[in-house]
Structure 1
Amino acid sequence: MASRPAPTPAGATIRRVTAIAATALPVLAADAATKAWARTELADAPVQAGWLDLRLGYNSGVAFGIGAGAPGWLVLALTGAMVAVLAVVALRMRPPVAAGLVLGGGLANLLDRAGDGTVTDFLSVGWWPTFNLADAAIVAGAAWLLLGELLPSRRPRAAEQQGPKPSTMSALSSTAEELQAGDLPNPGSGVDAVLDDRDGNGR
């Protein structure tokens, strides 16, 4: 049975980019839709929902209100630079789905900020600055990437389990070659010897 060919570097890069894009694009769409809904439905009054309230707010800072007093062009430039770095680093991040969450969230906030210099926030837990869906995607993706780096990988263990297979196949191949060359004893010779001894004793 023919083995599956090893993936080429170009093919692996294409699959990684596809996985990142397939994650980042839904984050972009969902964030834009929820922000548009919040600007319309939460403009008059917030919605009390228990541990998570829906409260409209606008952030002129970088993230979670940080740098709110900085000039708008500076915040936009810093945000754009951060997203550019994320786009480059995302190609090396594992898993690609987590990288897509981080990149999608960064792009969503950048596009929102490009309009009027602010980012729409509407999720409030009371003890944390108001945030949005893009912020949640960034935090979730970053936590996933961090866990991926801290937790031990199962690949070496799988490789160890597959390690003995080549030696076993080599042993079987060597045994077959010895049988063909006649180096191994013939099991039938022992039976013939026993029969000869019996005949001799009977005589």
Structure 2
Amino acid sequence: MFRRMCTFSMLCLSMSLSTMAWAIDIQSNTLYPRVELDTSMGKIVVELDRTRAPITVDNFLTYVVKGHYDNTLFHRVIADFVVQGGGLDLKQEEKPYDAPIVNESGNGLSNSFGTIAMARDNDPHSATSQFYFNVADNERLDPSSRRWGYAVFGEVTQGEEVLAAMVAVATEHNRKLDWPDFPVEDIILKKATLLPRK
């Protein structure tokens, strides 16, 4: 009986420490955490804005820390619009994702050139892991009095030349997925890393 109680106590302590470590891993007290995206075309660093989009930033960082984005594809590239990724593995299979999050568009951040935002379906509260970079000023993706927008949660601070190279690649209609604007040659997000606090 004593042994079982000790085992149970150790399990509870382990779970508690794990939860604490998890909170530290996503830098919950950092207002502007930074993430490095190491891609097959170069490195991009983004600074996230937890003051404007706390739910979205925590969601994105949770996927980063879990390694969800490692070895995924940028699967949608449209010049003068967006570069999108975060959902497909290297076999073009959709990765499992967590529950959708609340849409934080209307937070004062616009879908302007060089920002990062959450992709979603028609349901405004359907964003999960997929994100996109705005490679143009896309104010039409911002909310209005008649519609929900797409939630911006940060901006590129390094690697704009990498985005420029991405939007220059050839694309085609992917027959397997029946998706347009798919890069002919894979653009791979090799690793996403939460950078140390400044």
TM-score, normalized by the shorter chain, greater than 0.5: no
Indicate the TM-score class for this superposition, using the shorter chain for normalisation: under 0.3
Higher helix share: 1
Higher strand share: 2
* TM-score, normalised relative to structure 2: 0.22
* TM-score, normalised relative to structure 1: 0.21
